[in-house]
Amino acid sequence: MLKTKIKKGILFGVIGLLLIFSFPLNTYASDITRDGVVNLINTEREVRGINTLTFNSRLQTAAQWKADDMIQKDYWEHFHNGKSPWDWIKEAGYDYIDAGENLAIDFTELEPMHQAWMNSPTHRDNIVNYKYKEVGVGIAKGDFEGHQTIIVVQMFGNPVPSQVAQKEERNKASASFTPIPTEKQFTAQADENLSKKETAKAENKPQGSYIQRSLSFIKNSLAYIFNGYKTNVQKGYAQFRSIILRNYSASANN
């Protein structure tokens, strides 16, 4: 009876151990993929209110070239034989204003690798740099210095605006730009405003008081009367002179 209980206890213990070790301790761990790497980057950026990154095929090409080269040549460093990360990016045809690179090695799960980057100030600065707009991820698996491993390369970029985008921006700026008047335009505008002011002043000019209008009327009336009187006197004088002259002639003839 005792032996039976012991056997059962051992059996249950073995089954328990098998169950424990048959499942990963970290149920949240996942395989390393490009989408997974970028999703974790963008999660960090969203939490901080920074623009999310989009895939760029040329940055992706540069990152994959670099990852494959490190596996093939057994090195793990940003600069190798005088070649920098920026050289890889330029060779892929990516024109940039700002660019950065993160490297990881010997990780088999996504989350621990990402956390290692976030624990490093320089790597974290690349992940949450507000200047970057695009990203590429290279993943290479193979033998590295005698053991199988995974190398991951992140390449970040802030691209130079294309000529089409620059032209569109200039057109937008031109559409919203109000030209400054030239000297001639300004002078003409000032003359026009002055003319309007003078016209308004003339229209609003007071016509004089009642006394002034009355005096003017009296003056005009007296002038009219005087001129009429003068004219009548002249006419009377002419008629009188004509009569005198006629009489004088008759008398001479007699």
Can you give the pLDDT of all 254 residues of the chain as single tens digits?
A: 545 555 555 444 544 444 333 434 344 457 999 999 999 999 999 999 999 999 999 999 999 999 999 999 999 999 999 999 999 999 999 999 999 999 999 999 999 999 999 999 999 999 999 999 999 999 999 999 999 999 999 999 999 987 546 656 666 665 554 555 544 444 444 445 545 555 445 445 444 556 666 676 676 666 666 666 555 555 555 554 544 444 433 333 33
- Asked if 177 and 113 touch (Cβ cutoff 8 Å), the reply is no
What confidence score (pLDDT) does residue 159 get?
96
Residue 223, number of CB atoms within 10 A of its CB: 10
Q: Which residues make beta-bridge pairs with 134?
A: 54, 157
pLDDT of residue 234: 59
Q: pTM for the whole thing?
A: 0.56
What is the model's pLDDT at position 84?
Answer: 95
Q: Which residue has the tokens 């090409």?
A: 61
**Where are the strands (E) in the chain, listed by range?**
54-55, 96-105, 134-144, 147-159
pLDDT at 171: 65
| Angle at alpha carbon of residue 110, lines to 104 and 116, rounded to 5° | 50
Cα torsion through 181, 186, 188, 190, rounded to 10: 140
